[in-house]
Structure 1
Amino acid sequence: MTRLNLLFAVQIAAILAALGGELLGSQPLVAVAVGTFAVAVVATFAQMTGELLVGLTSVRIPDTAERRR
Protein backbone atom coordinates (compact mmCIF):
# COMPACT_ATOMS: atom_id res chain seq x y z
CA MET A 1 0.00 0.00 0.00
CA THR A 2 1.48 3.32 -1.01
CA ARG A 3 1.68 6.29 1.32
CA LEU A 4 -1.08 8.17 -0.49
CA ASN A 5 -3.41 5.18 -0.28
CA LEU A 6 -2.67 4.90 3.42
CA LEU A 7 -3.38 8.61 3.95
CA PHE A 8 -6.65 8.35 2.04
CA ALA A 9 -7.62 5.36 4.19
CA VAL A 10 -6.87 7.37 7.33
CA GLN A 11 -9.05 10.20 6.02
CA ILE A 12 -11.96 7.85 5.37
CA ALA A 13 -11.54 6.20 8.78
CA ALA A 14 -11.50 9.62 10.45
CA ILE A 15 -14.71 10.65 8.69
CA LEU A 16 -16.39 7.40 9.74
CA ALA A 17 -15.15 7.86 13.32
CA ALA A 18 -16.54 11.40 13.38
CA LEU A 19 -19.91 10.16 12.14
CA GLY A 20 -19.88 7.40 14.73
CA GLY A 21 -18.98 9.89 17.42
CA GLU A 22 -21.89 12.07 16.40
CA LEU A 23 -24.27 9.13 16.56
CA LEU A 24 -22.94 8.09 19.96
CA GLY A 25 -22.85 11.65 21.25
CA SER A 26 -19.15 11.40 22.08
CA GLN A 27 -17.61 14.84 21.75
CA PRO A 28 -14.00 13.67 22.44
CA LEU A 29 -14.25 11.07 19.66
CA VAL A 30 -15.48 13.69 17.22
CA ALA A 31 -12.69 16.06 18.24
CA VAL A 32 -10.00 13.41 17.75
CA ALA A 33 -11.49 12.33 14.42
CA VAL A 34 -11.62 15.88 13.07
CA GLY A 35 -8.04 16.52 14.20
CA THR A 36 -6.86 13.29 12.61
CA PHE A 37 -8.64 14.13 9.39
CA ALA A 38 -7.02 17.57 9.26
CA VAL A 39 -3.54 16.14 9.84
CA ALA A 40 -4.11 13.47 7.18
CA VAL A 41 -5.25 16.09 4.64
CA VAL A 42 -2.18 18.23 5.29
CA ALA A 43 0.07 15.17 5.04
CA THR A 44 -1.60 14.17 1.76
CA PHE A 45 -0.97 17.58 0.21
CA ALA A 46 2.63 17.52 1.44
CA GLN A 47 3.17 14.05 -0.03
CA MET A 48 1.59 15.03 -3.36
CA THR A 49 3.67 18.21 -3.55
CA GLY A 50 6.83 16.26 -2.83
CA GLU A 51 6.06 13.71 -5.51
CA LEU A 52 5.31 16.50 -7.98
CA LEU A 53 8.63 18.22 -7.27
CA VAL A 54 10.55 14.97 -7.61
CA GLY A 55 8.74 14.25 -10.87
CA LEU A 56 9.54 17.69 -12.23
CA THR A 57 13.24 17.36 -11.47
CA SER A 58 13.44 14.01 -13.27
CA VAL A 59 11.89 15.29 -16.52
CA ARG A 60 14.53 15.71 -19.16
CA ILE A 61 13.93 18.19 -21.96
CA PRO A 62 15.95 17.34 -25.06
CA ASP A 63 18.43 19.94 -26.17
CA THR A 64 17.25 20.98 -29.62
CA ALA A 65 20.05 23.51 -30.14
CA GLU A 66 22.51 20.72 -30.90
CA ARG A 67 20.30 19.25 -33.65
CA ARG A 68 19.89 22.47 -35.64
CA ARG A 69 23.48 22.44 -36.90
Structure 2
Amino acid sequence: MAFEVGIQFLDDYGRTTTRRFQNTEALIADALASVGTLITDFLMTSDLGTMKHDIAVRTVCDNAADA
Protein backbone atom coordinates (compact mmCIF):
# COMPACT_ATOMS: atom_id res chain seq x y z
CA MET A 1 0.00 0.00 0.00
CA ALA A 2 1.25 3.47 -0.79
CA PHE A 3 0.46 6.65 1.07
CA GLU A 4 0.38 9.97 -0.73
CA VAL A 5 1.71 12.78 1.42
CA GLY A 6 0.83 16.41 0.71
CA ILE A 7 2.61 19.21 2.55
CA GLN A 8 1.47 22.80 2.15
CA PHE A 9 4.29 25.27 2.77
CA LEU A 10 4.06 28.96 3.63
CA ASP A 11 6.78 31.56 2.98
CA ASP A 12 7.41 34.91 4.66
CA TYR A 13 5.29 36.71 2.03
CA GLY A 14 2.18 34.63 2.71
CA ARG A 15 2.51 32.55 -0.47
CA THR A 16 1.71 28.87 -0.31
CA THR A 17 2.88 25.92 -2.35
CA THR A 18 2.01 22.25 -2.04
CA ARG A 19 4.40 19.37 -2.63
CA ARG A 20 3.35 15.76 -2.89
CA PHE A 21 5.46 12.74 -2.00
CA GLN A 22 4.93 8.99 -2.11
CA ASN A 23 5.47 7.04 1.09
CA THR A 24 5.81 3.26 0.75
CA GLU A 25 5.43 2.29 4.40
CA ALA A 26 3.11 -0.69 4.90
CA LEU A 27 1.39 0.55 8.05
CA ILE A 28 -0.30 3.89 8.66
CA ALA A 29 1.55 4.31 11.98
CA ASP A 30 4.89 3.90 10.18
CA ALA A 31 3.80 6.32 7.46
CA LEU A 32 2.85 8.93 10.08
CA ALA A 33 6.21 8.56 11.81
CA SER A 34 8.04 8.81 8.49
CA VAL A 35 6.13 11.93 7.47
CA GLY A 36 6.77 13.51 10.86
CA THR A 37 10.49 12.95 10.37
CA LEU A 38 10.34 14.36 6.82
CA ILE A 39 8.58 17.53 8.00
CA THR A 40 10.93 18.00 10.96
CA ASP A 41 14.00 17.58 8.74
CA PHE A 42 12.60 19.98 6.15
CA LEU A 43 11.82 22.66 8.73
CA MET A 44 15.37 22.42 10.13
CA THR A 45 16.89 23.04 6.67
CA SER A 46 14.45 25.58 5.23
CA ASP A 47 13.08 28.98 6.15
CA LEU A 48 9.59 28.00 4.95
CA GLY A 49 6.85 27.23 7.44
CA THR A 50 4.17 24.60 7.03
CA MET A 51 0.42 25.20 7.11
CA LYS A 52 -1.03 21.76 6.54
CA HIS A 53 0.01 18.12 6.18
CA ASP A 54 -2.21 15.55 4.49
CA ILE A 55 -1.76 11.81 4.20
CA ALA A 56 -4.03 9.91 1.81
CA VAL A 57 -4.29 6.22 1.05
CA ARG A 58 -4.30 5.43 -2.66
CA THR A 59 -5.16 1.94 -3.82
CA VAL A 60 -5.21 0.49 -7.31
CA CYS A 61 -7.38 -2.45 -8.36
CA ASP A 62 -5.88 -4.87 -10.85
CA ASN A 63 -9.36 -5.52 -12.21
CA ALA A 64 -11.73 -2.57 -12.57
CA ALA A 65 -14.68 -4.95 -12.11
CA ASP A 66 -13.50 -5.54 -8.53
CA ALA A 67 -13.82 -1.85 -7.66
TM over 0.5: no
Query: Which bin holds the TM-score, normalised by the shorter protein?
Result: 0.3 to 0.5
Larger RCO (CA within 8 A; separation ≥ 6):
2
TM-score, with length taken from structure 1: 0.33
Q: Which has the higher helix share?
A: 1
TM-score, with length taken from structure 2: 0.34
The higher radius of gyration belongs to 1
Q: Which has the higher strand share?
A: 2
